[in-house]
Structure 1
Amino acid sequence: MLAEIDVASLSEAEASALCQSCGACCGYSADWPRFSLESDEALARIPEAMVSASRGGMRCENDRCTALVGEIGVAAACGIYADRPDVCRACMPGDEECLVARRKFGL
């Protein structure tokens, strides 16, 4: 288990670097990577294999988004970062959602 870090106290650059070693938000809940405000054009850029059967969000295996590449808490990245859903764009390192997800994984 990694030592607890006060993510909210980090600089933007430090938080972004930490984010690339985290990935907790992408493995927190199968209900979280949902579509909300995306345009039809934006949704069309997401690979069909990564869209849920309901077409309401990203496809997940258990709680993990299929776009997540790497190991949570070690090295992680979004495989479709440029085309990720709006809810993923809204999640910021150190915000409440980030901290809740990190706690789930003991980070």
Structure 2
Amino acid sequence: MDETPPIDPSSSCQACGACCAYSANWPRFSIESDEELALIPEQLVNDRQSGMRCDGDRCSALQGEIGKATSCGIYAARPEVCRTCMPGDAECAMARRKFGLPAIEVASA
């Protein structure tokens, strides 16, 4: 029986990026302060000033190839919604499914 080895959640984001390309409505601003928002380069903010600019569904700060190797061009200043999406949570699973990537199984405590 061919079993896929479990995905290591600690490194899964850099090999995924699906949540950053799931929907143009996803990388939105919510509880960020004006000071935090000022750290995001203007060219990466959408015209409504409500979230990140996207190319289709892909966040403009996402670098690399989804499912292979990705990174965030503004990781230290990324919006709160990006900080709360965790490997293996419902949002992660939904985004990974869109790109045909296997779900991440996170061991329960």
Residue of structure 1 equivalent to 2:14: 20
Whose relative contact order is higher, 1 or 2, with alpha carbons under 8 Å and at least 6 apart? 1
Q: Which has the larger radius of gyration?
A: 2
Residue of structure 1 equivalent to 2:91: 97
2:62 equivalent among 59, 64, 68: 68
How far off its partner does 1:4 sit?
Answer: 6.9
How far off its partner does 1:16 sit?
Answer: 2.5
Of 15-24 and 94-103, more deviation after overlay is shown by 15-24
Residue of structure 1 equivalent to 2:105: none
> TM-score w.r.t. structure 1 length?
0.88
1:80 equivalent among 65, 74, 89: 74
AA paired with 2:9?
A
Q: Kindly provide the CA deviation profile for residues 59-100 of structure 1, in whole angstroms up to 9, marking residues without a partner as x.
A: 000000000000000000111000000000000010000000
Count of aligned residue pairs for this structure pair = 99
Q: Which is richer in helix?
A: 1
Q: Kindly provide the CA deviation profile for residues 8-66 of structure 1, in whole angstroms up to 9, marking residues without a partner as x.
A: xxxxxx21211110000000000000000000000000000000000000000000000
CA RMSD in angstroms, aligned pairs only: 1.6
Unaligned runs of 5+ in 1: 8-13
Determine what percentage of the aligned residue pairs are the same residue.
Answer: 65
> TM-score w.r.t. structure 2 length?
0.86
